[in-house]
Amino acid sequence: MQRKATFTHLAIFILPALLLICIFVFYPCLRTISLSFFSEGKFSLHNYYEVLKSRDTINLEGFSKGFPLGTLFHNLLWIIIHLPLTTFLGLTLAVYLKNVKGGSIIKSIIFLGMVMPMITGGVMIRFIFDKNIGIVNEFLKLFGFLPKAWTAYPETALFSLIFGSVWLWAGFSMILYSAGLETIPKDLYEAAQIDGASSMKMFFKITIPLLKPITIVIVTMTMLWELKIFDIVYVATMGGPGSASNVLALQMYTYAFKALNFGKSSVVAVFLTIITLAVSIPMARSAGEGR
């Protein structure tokens, strides 16, 4: 009888949360999937065909070509460039600021980019690369380069957003690595010093291997952020010029709220979900095995 009462009380506490999850998570997911498979009230793959048929132009220096779902390539560029930069920069800052006097204050300043709303970050990136008042152009003037509106040209718009957002995310990896460094026993470094190991050897043989679980978390979270990036691109360039800096999440928004084509928007959402799961599930397993 007591066990039955306990189960009843547990159900009373769980049911409201479960109801909210069903309404705001499960139902929208199922509805999105169903919308992607229906066109003009009939079940078909027309929406998938239309999305994959549309060739989004990829504009890079000396290269311009249309690809099916070309915005996915832009997201991949975010991962290829942004991920190693923020991970390496965060690790470097965490290591060098660990024993520096006032290091916690410097970390707090760097972390401001992470706690700042990404909408604000997008506006700042636009000003950083502005032709007249941008700090990038002011710096390049010192070396004789002519000022340029970096976000206004197809060849440079995407790279401006990627490099400009490094400072927004580097604080995340820096804080996690700083926490991970505190868990490494000092005895290991002392023993290595007695054996005559150099600082560089200790870094590669002790620090990096013991920070592997933290690295997996950072890589996973950063890749997910790069796959669903939206606000920075929306504010800074709106995916332009043309579609030079467009990304999957912004394309999904454009289909839904500008073209009012919820079927095609749902297709992009399904693709984005599949890619996200393909990234997060193996990473989660690796993190579990690394413990």
Q: What is the DSSP string of 114-147?
A: HHS-HHHHHHHHHHHT-TTT-HHHHHHHTTTPPP
pLDDT tens digits, 153-203: 888 888 999 998 998 889 999 999 999 998 888 888 888 888 888 888 888
63: in domain? no
Flag whether 3 is in a domain: no
Pairing mode of beta strands 63-68, 55-60: antiparallel
How much is the pLDDT for 133? 84
Q: Is residue 25 part of a domain?
A: no
**Does an H or E element contain 97, and which?**
none
53 within domain boundaries: no
What does the angle CA 189 – CA 92 – CA 291 come to, to the nearest 5 degrees?
Answer: 60
Q: Residues 6 or more apart from 9 whose CB is under 8 A from it?
A: none
| Residue 263 located in a structural domain | yes
**What is the CATH classification number for the domain harbouring 204?**
1.10.3720.10
Token pair in block for residue 212: 């592997």
Q: Is residue 148 part of a domain?
A: yes
Give dist(CA 31, CA 42) in Å, integer: 15
- Residue range of the domain that includes 75: 70-289
* Contact predicate 144/60, CB 8 Å: no
Query: The pTM is what?
Result: 0.84
User: pLDDT at position 163, please?
Assistant: 92
| Residue 28 included in any domain | no
How many domains in the chain?
A: 1
Cα 201 to Cα 205: distance, rounded to the nearest angstrom: 6
Asked whether the beta carbons of 218 and 210 are under 8 A apart, the reply is no
pLDDT of residue 290: 54
Domain membership of residue 84 (yes or no) is yes
The pLDDT value recorded for residue 65 is: 55
Contact 233, 246 (CB under 8 A): yes
Low-confidence ranges of the chain (pLDDT < 50): none
Determine the Cα–Cα distance for residues 159 and 163; give it in Å rounded to an integer.
6
Q: CB of 257 within 8 A of CB of 250?
A: no
Angle at Cα 241 formed by Cα 238 and Cα 246, nearest 5°?
50
